[in-house]
Amino acid sequence: MSTSFDNAAQVLTPPEPNLPYLRTNRAGEMRLDPGGLTAGEDGRIAALEATRTADLHVDATDCALLPGLVDCHTHLPFAGWRAQEYEQKVTGVPYEEIARAGGGIASSARALRETPDDAVLQQAADLATEMLAHGTTTFECKSGYGLSRDGELRALKLAAELRARVRQQTTRTALLAHAVPEGYTAKTWMDEVEAMTPAAVDTGASALDIFVESIAFDVEDLDRLGKLAAGAGVALRAHVEQFSTMRSVPVALRHDARSLDHLSAIHPDDIGPLASSNTAAVLLPGAEFMGAEATAPARDLVDAGAIVVLATDANPGTSPVFSLPLIVGLGVRRYGLDTREALLAVTLNAAYVLDHAHDLGSIEVGKRADLVLLDSPSEHMAYRLGHNPVAAVFIAGQPAYVRSDAEWRITPAP
């Protein structure tokens, strides 16, 4: 069935086709012009104009039409929540006390271990439905709450099974070095990571990931994981410079990491090299906000030419946030981004992190017709903080979510 999107107030398009990413200092070249487009029967964008003879018509009057949003950093699947811990944190209970009482990553690891597969998958699928209603058409899953060889591989297998239960495209990242499990040192756990890497990659994981932090793994472990990723033929990603300045960036750049995520405490000398590399800077304003963390120097990264990306970091501990429009609102305010910079950061550049930019992330002929229709011009996404501007979501050209007040917009051909 073909679908014509008619008379949009804004259609977000890149300055040229086939870009693997667009450095954020070129975001001003993204166009937000009025227009329409047609999705063909094959689910791909067939033309950058409306077609009178299409089977389905979407009246996009007064709306912005965007590529489907891409969330390149989530910790799905996980089990349960940690709301009580959040209340303790905001009211001033020290983290050490929370951790001693069994909180933190260990608490999510225990919950995952004790929850049957089907319940884990159901929670994740329900969250994916919520994400769809906020415009997310592609998202990343991570392991990392397994904290044992079997646990990590189970999490990756559940992430693979989740694909069949959700409407979105998904990818899997093996966050094998998330926290040092009891009974191990960072070094002896890295031996386990090395041993389980082939099995992790066999589950379909397309990246290895690590948490480099004073309370977790160090830059030597990052160096080792970089070698493991290269040997396994998968991308290297890393949680770095979140709380402490560890100087992870030069090490990760030597391994041509696909992305470095967090960066709130990045050393000023590392901004230039990161910005001139092909490694994306994934900023997580939800985690920064919920954790009252330092603000990543996004403006400096943008101006130096970095590939800047925004993501939710959706997880039950530090960022239980699943809405990319909310993340855009937080990112624009915290980082001083304009609308085009922020939209680029949750579309094409996020697709690059997941190695899907050839197929997703921008509105151009031949790409999958994953599209988001906003109820307003795109500038409203950041401005009306907390309002969900998503009126409808289309996957491969077909309606996947339609808000009740937007149903009138979608009609069969007369």
Given the rule CB under 5 A, which residues bind Zn ion? Answer: 313
Closest CB to Zn ion among 32 and 314? 314
Question: How far is the C-alpha of 329 from the C-alpha of 72, rounded, in Å?
Answer: 17
The two three-digit tokens of residue 154, written as one number: 């189970």
Closest CB to Zn ion among 313 and 375? 313
Number of other residues whose CB lies within 10 A of the CB of residue 396: 19
Closest CB to Zn ion among 36 and 320? 320
Q: Are 410 and 399 in contact (CB under 8 A)?
A: yes
Q: Can you list the positions of beta strands (E) in 79-216? A: 136-142, 169-177, 207-210
Closest CB to Zn ion among 313 and 379? 313
Question: How far is the C-alpha of 140 from the C-alpha of 254, rounded, in Å?
Answer: 24
- Minimum CB distance to Zn ion, residue 259 (Å): 11
Question: How far is the C-alpha of 326 from the C-alpha of 332, rounded, in Å?
Answer: 10
- Minimum CB distance to Zn ion, residue 253 (Å): 20
CA atoms within 13 A on the CB side of 331: 30
The two three-digit tokens of residue 168, written as one number: 């979105």
- Minimum CB distance to Zn ion, residue 85 (Å): 16
Closest CB to Zn ion among 12 and 76? 76
The two three-digit tokens of residue 358, written as one number: 């050839």
Question: How far is the C-alpha of 241 from the C-alpha of 99, rounded, in Å?
Answer: 21
Q: Which residues 6+ apart lie within 8 Å of 127 measured at CB?
A: 76, 314, 322
Closest CB to Zn ion among 3 and 173? 173
- Minimum CB distance to Zn ion, residue 178 (Å): 9
DSSP three-state, residue 93: coil
Name the residue number minimizing CB distance to Zn ion.
313
DSSP three-state, residue 167: coil
Closest CB to Zn ion among 213 and 379? 213
